[in-house]
Structure 1
Amino acid sequence: MDLPLIWSLLIATAVMLYVLLDGSDLGIGILTAFAVDNDERNLMSATIEPVWDGNETWLILGGGGLFAAFPLAYAVLMPAFYIPVLIMLAALIFRGVAFEFRHKAVRKPTRLFWNGAFAYGSLTAALAQGFILGGFIQGVEVEGRSYAGGAFDWFTPFSVLVALSVAGGYVLLGSCWLVLKTEGETQMGSRKWARRAMIFVILAMGAVSLATLSIDPRVTERWGLNMEALEFGKFLTLAPIPMIAMILFFFLWRDIWIRVEDAPDWRPMVYAAAILLTGYLGLAISLFPNLVPFELDIWETAARDNALMLMFVGAAIMLPVILGYTIYVYSLFWGKVDPDEAYHD
């Protein structure tokens, strides 16, 4: 049993679930800054009130899994991303506090403050996660199995592009979630935001994909592309991934732009999640098996097999429980949100 490979898949799955679940929460948080009034803002936040705190569990599992299963990778990557990680954690904490306090604010200035804190805390967390991802993709400087770069090596034009892309992807998820959970003017406004976000995500994903190919020759070679010739065997094997993404973009565009009345409300959310999933899969293919691009792989950074096996037994018990609970909560609060039956009321 290849335990390092299994644990890398478990951590990748946890991070993916966090992106899809809490990503929509962060996207809705960003969109609350553009709500027509406080009633609409309350309705938007009510769509995620039962689930938002549970969705952050997957981020804890991803980070905790990296620390426990791949301690060397954790020791190298954390010093490289101390600043964006701390910014992200502070923003998530501030967002959580604002989420609770905005419902208790009586005076208008106080309510405006907490509404702004919720929106900009969500935006800051999304951008910080994008900077972490961008810095991770472009690689970190390693000497003697330790981080040897500077405190701001993560801040580059490429990481700025990735950060904006992540925030745009979250807005797309959030707007599609609002299409699913709301009705009337709020739903129509969410469709407009989904259209804008979709255009941005198309351009951003294309730009990030092309930029990623130029980061390291091994990434280009993985996709069968180089300056001398096109390796059709590799290229044709992986070409379905971007092709599927383009098809999904077309379907999403059709549902939110052309055939709005004929499309069921759940379908844009499925398409948006699938689009981000194709991007996640393409990134995984580009970087695998590197856990510290492009220096250390999953086998070099893994803990001992006996430790991995012990943790795997625990994960095999707990992960299905957490996943089952997540599915149960979402099914329990399925359907349109009634503004008069918000979670805090």
Structure 2
Amino acid sequence: MKLAAIFGFDRSKLNWPLGFTVAVAIFAPLVLLALIGQDVYWLSVSFGVLFVGLGDPGGRFATRAAYTAVFGLIGAVVTAWGIAVGSAGWIVVTLSTVVITLATGLVIRFGVRRFVTGSLLTAWFLIAVSLAPGFGAAGITLNPWLQALAWLAGAATWFVLSSLVTALRRAPDRAPLVAELPTDTKGGALTKPVVVYAVLRTLAVSGAVAIAFGFQLPYADWMPLAAQVAMKPNAEQSRLAATQRVVGTALGAVIAIVLLLTVDQVYVLAGVMVLLALLGGAFRTANYALYTTGIAGTALIALDISDPTNLANEGLRILFTLIGVGIAIGVMALAGLLAGRAASRHRDVGADSPAP
């Protein structure tokens, strides 16, 4: 596939309102929490802002308020769950990942939009389970319920700020900031290919989690997150979008690794996270690879923002990122092979059937 197809973008589709709204919503809590000495809650707040914002359905106040309330509350539960089990041993972490990943894969039964927002929660859970051991190594114990409250604060921050933007634009029926986000909430049948893909996706992400936590490998938490981000969310996604996800994840990892290797100031890294989130939001509708680069870089830096390190450890991060991307590619290839064989059998059965 040509690079022009992967990285080409339409300038008219650059979504700066989304980018700047996300950046302001993330940066403001960073400053406030730093001033009061509570920046341990910033990651939960910032990802509450980021993921609630990325799933914002647009529309009138009541529609957005209902979405924020439901998504925010579910995200708070996922936050508390992830923080609580993060230090509970690899079996509990792996089983929790199986439940979360399979549920968000099968939720497509209730519409594409819910599937997309569920995938955002899966990514956050993979980050949340890594926070407790990461902060624990620095002698900091995270309170699951206070972190859940911080997530809710992030959701509320997004809602208030985006509502102000909507009011200033005088567009009560505005389209979602993420314009191409699926709006379909109609239920559909769980066909065999959909179920098979959901199971394969669950096995891939959960297997990566089991390896990372079971063997207590340093920086292996990059592996399941890279796999989750790089993997196309469903079996029907186009080959171009799937390629863009893989390439974007790899580029985001490179950016994160270079920054963690060269920058040893936590607040500088936090500022870069804000910038990457801004660029990710702005490029969301213009180029999917660049959007994925920004979001992957943001998420991966978040895993180790308090642990800038040396070249040898960065090598481990590169290795586990590549393994995670490789897992995603392998699962997508297997799912495509199984779908192709199923389609072939269906054609053969049709050809052998007697004419009506």
Is the structural similarity TM-score above 0.5? Answer: no
- TM-score, scaled relative to structure 2: 0.30
TM-score, normalised to structure 1's length?
Answer: 0.30
